[in-house]
Amino acid sequence: MSGALTRSEPLSRAYDRWAETYDEEYAERPETATEDALVVSWLRDRLPAGASLIDAGCGTGWLLDRIEWPRALYYGFDISTGMLDRAREKHPGYAFGQQSVVDQWPGYPHDWRTGTPRVALAMWMVLNHLDPEELLLTLGRFASSEGDRLLAVLRMPAAPELAAPGGHDDLAPYVWNHSLDDIETSSEIVGLRVVDHFGFLYGGRTVPVKDAHYLALEIAR
């Protein structure tokens, strides 16, 4: 899927600039392994075998790098062609498309809906130009019927990364400044609800959500 990324164009260019070094930068962070282990184990408990996964803001393929999933049941999309090139290189045969949560809805490959239930994932995705209702409404449509859900890891406002996500200050204007209360309220407005969450700090220590740098969320209808 490709086409005009109207509202997401400047952000997609910022991610294109990051794509080449993204994996190495993360791999080199001492806290990455601990954070990953925590999130991957949380995800594994919530990904039913046979579910279709839609990986919103798939980046360079973080999810497939860590969790094996059948090709026919995976679709990853991202606004950045640079990020998508890396993902395709590492995961040949998997379906990826250039698409924005904001600008290019709807856009599944036609066979994506074969699996059931459906799980939409938004892992460490910088969600820009969005108000919380718009985001949740759009992502909620990816997981649109009973049994489907949305799993996400988001940055919390306390994170030092707000000023320069991943050390990239060109991304700072795009970080969505939210709280769990905002997300819960917005979810209700669009007919979804937060069914599970936990907060953790850089380095993977779990803490009360109010002290967290990251928030892991499960949202369902």
Ligand X SMILES: C[S@@+](CC[C@H](N)C(=O)[O-])C[C@H]1O[C@@H](n2cnc3c(N)ncnc32)[C@H](O)[C@@H]1O
Q: How far is the CB of 70 from ligand X (least distance, A)?
A: 19
d(CA 170, CA 118): 34
Residue closer to ligand X (CB basis): 24 or 146 = 24
Dihedral of alpha carbons 55, 102, 178, 185, sign: negative
Residue nearest to ligand X (CB): 59
Count CB atoms within 10 A of the CB of residue 202.
17
Residue closer to ligand X (CB basis): 147 or 199 = 199
Residue closer to ligand X (CB basis): 59 or 140 = 59
Tokens of 6: 């109207």
Which helix (H) or strand (E) segment holds residue 81: the answer is helix 81-90
Q: Which residues bind ligand X (CB under 6 A)?
A: 8, 11, 15, 56-59, 62, 78-80, 83, 100-102, 123-128
Mode of pairing for the β-strands spanning 52-56 and 118-123: parallel
59, 78 in Cβ contact below 8 A? yes
Q: How far is the CB of 88 from ligand X (least distance, A)?
A: 13
Q: How far is the CB of 181 from ligand X (least distance, A)?
A: 23
Residue closer to ligand X (CB basis): 56 or 194 = 56
Question: Cα 82 to chain center, whole Å?
Answer: 17
DSSP state of 79: S
Q: How far is the CB of 185 from ligand X (least distance, A)?
A: 21
The angle at the Cα of 134, spanning 128 to 138, to the nearest 5 degrees, equals: 100
Residue closer to ligand X (CB basis): 23 or 196 = 23
Q: How far is the CB of 165 from ligand X (least distance, A)?
A: 7
